Amino acid sequence: MTDNLHLKFGKPKSWNLSNSPEAQRIMDEYMEEDNPEKEKELICGIIDNVNGTISDWWTGNENVSKEDAKKYVTEYGN
């Protein structure tokens, strides 16, 4: 099964990172974080390490590139 990350409102909405151990490690760290800027940094780290597809709500759940996903996260709410 391919790993995936689905983003909504600039944050992880759902994911399967079972074949992406570094992404899962960063996700665990993200889940404990409460600083919005640090959260964005961690989400970008997750995106960089996903061994699979990334989609977001903004594009209607279409797959997006890692670069577009990071842009979505960093610019969301600005």
Q: What gap in Å lies between CA 21 and CA 31, rounded to an integer? A: 15
- Residues of the chain above pLDDT 90, percent: 88
Domain residue limits, the chain: 3-75
- Specify the pLDDT at position 50: 98
Q: What is the mean pLDDT of residues 37-55?
A: 97
pTM of the model: 0.94
d(CA 35, CA 15): 21
| Mean pLDDT to the nearest integer, 19-46 | 97
pLDDT of residue 60: 86
1 has a pLDDT exceeding 70: no
